[in-house]
Structure 1
């Protein structure tokens, strides 16, 4: 989908804030651990290519969710290591090797399927990391035996055992039991490997923030790089971060409706008095979901409630006064003394900040500042 460049709805990305977040994390951990920027899901909605190019000099590598995201980074000039965090389609292994993209091996069965597609593949350039399922329950090996079988089989084809990693399910929670169990399970498997690879890593943003003593060779920095607290409002941040994203739009239509008039699909909003209604060009096709009705936006530093059902492309708000077309509307960000954060939006939806920013669709134009 192409961004709607002729529409006033824009996500404004402060690249300097993102760079500062990386630097502040490095200062916080105060060691030589490599930082790999997680730019999957279009850079958590911030724009993967521009984010990666901006972060390139501050990080050692990048993490993505699938092969297509890696291809896109390579096509935009990213030459540093890229790790695909999940297993790719085995028949596409030649693409990963040709682009020097590191793959994740989630199981012995997956590797056997890859071997069926190694014709004309330069396997000495095939780097892989073994994924350990230490308790997340999605993908990965659960025993050292399976990991060692993977290493042995890969060695037969001169593949490069570059890393082993896991992912924590509760690093962003106050309770420690599950985290400690996963940490113990991962270390037990790593200690029983036939050899140690270059990289052993388990730390995402949450683990790096609240369990920095467990950081190993790589820190996979995602949510915190974008200035978002991985725990939402549960745990306080341990160092300074600055949100990198604001979401802005404008009023495109203003009218006054009388008492008893309805607004939106289903006539769900019924005016209990004469009401000034403003229309804003953003809707659920942009990731501004229908459950945002009842929340608010900022106009001229004032909170204006969202009324009526949010449509695919537009929503309506109640205004305190008649305002001109083109008046700025803040959906995420600061306006005067008032501020709306991604966590405010997440709390209204009953979800997490990750989901809020990842849902912002490609139709919203990204504007990059301070790059």
Structure 2
């Protein structure tokens, strides 16, 4: 396990990750394969450790955004299938093939160039098709040409087709149904053009995965729900998702200040009376946005307001009494859920955990036992002479 030398840390309960996926599978996904999305360091939770925990219960497909994220998993002995959602450079195709990665084909122009220039070993691929998000994806008018190029070129093996929903299904599901209908149109046309039925078909986000899906959808993409964060507050599950992440820091200074004392940069907070002010060892370089000044922390037995401008490495808290230096401060945990932390930061829950910097050490627990610690700042860059 890696050491760390600061008074701020994240705790991840891997048993909660395992229990969340087991319950979701039991109630919603029986008979379907799960693709666990662990991009962006598993939304800040730690891609390698989350993937290892899920492999231990039979999850054998992971999704990432980049080749770099995929290689991180491979270098840490993740053997399962890995789909790279992002665009892959032609110069990296052989690397993808050697590491048994699945790439995404997102445009006809990219594929034309690839079949002309790539001469390496076979690359596994999924088609990303455009159904309404308008980010990356093959248009329906280009599908015949794309399938034709793949049929004629054995260097690319078509293993799946997918798209991306623009939003979670809500009270107005008009656009959700529009995208789903468009996707099934893509699938029907693609299967009529390919030399064999496309094995894997997927489009769901976490919220959509809870709906009654068309029978053609046989691969379920799961993201933030893996880690116990629900994508929409109005979703009612037959079990409780268990948040896996807690964020803590400590009081590194406590002082009693007289009325009129100005706190932090730009003097954005001024004491109204005699006040206890604590300095906490976490700042915007760790992912605490300056907008959290309307937010709160939990210390021992009470909530306390964040005051003043958040610094790069520190922030200030108005205390109700003279706490001891070294007292633990909760930003996310049993008393402050991720959704509350996100609201305090004036952002959404997906962003709230992704923005937690990798300079914060992660401590991983399984059944209340510390099993690993990661610290991205202590890396050996070269061999010792």
C-alpha distance in 2, partners of 1:254/1:216? 56
- Once the two structures are TM-superposed, the CA of residue 148 in structure 1 deviates from its matched residue by 2.9
- Listed one character per residue, the Cα deviations across residues 243-287 of structure 1 (whole Å, up to 9, x for unaligned) are 010001111111111000010110010000011111111111001
- Once the two structures are TM-superposed, the CA of residue 60 in structure 1 deviates from its matched residue by 2.2
Question: Which deviates the most, 90-99 or 177-186?
Answer: 90-99
Q: Secondary structure at the match of 1:24?
A: helix
The residue correspondences of 1:1-371 to structure 2 (distance < 5 A) are: 5-57=4-56, 58-119=58-119, 121-123=120-122, 126-143=123-140, 145-158=141-154, 159-193=156-190, 194-195=193-194, 196-212=197-213, 216-231=217-232, 233-237=233-237, 239-334=239-334, 339-370=335-366
C-alpha distance in 1, partners of 2:214/2:226? 19
Q: Secondary structure at the match of 1:135?
A: coil
- Listed one character per residue, the Cα deviations across residues 156-202 of structure 1 (whole Å, up to 9, x for unaligned) are 22121100001111224321100000000110111111132110111
Residues 60 and 140 (structure 1 numbering): CA distance in 2 closer, same or farther, change over 3 Å? Answer: same
TM-score (norm 2): 0.90
Q: Secondary structure at the match of 2:62?
A: strand
Residues 214 and 258 (structure 1 numbering): CA distance in 2 closer, same or farther, change over 3 Å? Answer: farther
C-alpha distance in 1, partners of 2:3/2:278? 21
- Once the two structures are TM-superposed, the CA of residue 24 in structure 1 deviates from its matched residue by 0.6
Residues 230 and 215 (structure 1 numbering): CA distance in 2 closer, same or farther, change over 3 Å? Answer: farther
Question: Which deviates the most, 57-66 or 241-250?
Answer: 57-66
- Once the two structures are TM-superposed, the CA of residue 234 in structure 1 deviates from its matched residue by 4.2
Query: 2:295·2:345 contact (CA, 8 Å) conserved in 1?
Result: no
Query: 1:103·1:129 contact (CA, 8 Å) conserved in 2?
Result: yes
Query: 1:209·1:238 contact (CA, 8 Å) conserved in 2?
Result: no
- Once the two structures are TM-superposed, the CA of residue 345 in structure 1 deviates from its matched residue by 1.6
Query: 1:227·1:241 contact (CA, 8 Å) conserved in 2?
Result: yes
- Once the two structures are TM-superposed, the CA of residue 5 in structure 1 deviates from its matched residue by 1.6
C-alpha distance in 2, partners of 1:236/1:172? 13
C-alpha distance in 2, partners of 1:296/1:352? 16
C-alpha distance in 2, partners of 1:208/1:73? 25
Residues 215 and 290 (structure 1 numbering): CA distance in 2 closer, same or farther, change over 3 Å? Answer: farther
C-alpha distance in 2, partners of 1:92/1:368? 33
- Listed one character per residue, the Cα deviations across residues 206-254 of structure 1 (whole Å, up to 9, x for unaligned) are 11124445672111111110101112x2444454210010001111111
Aligned Cα RMSD in Å? Answer: 1.6
C-alpha distance in 2, partners of 1:290/1:214? 46
In structure 1, list runs of 5 or more residues that go unmatched: none
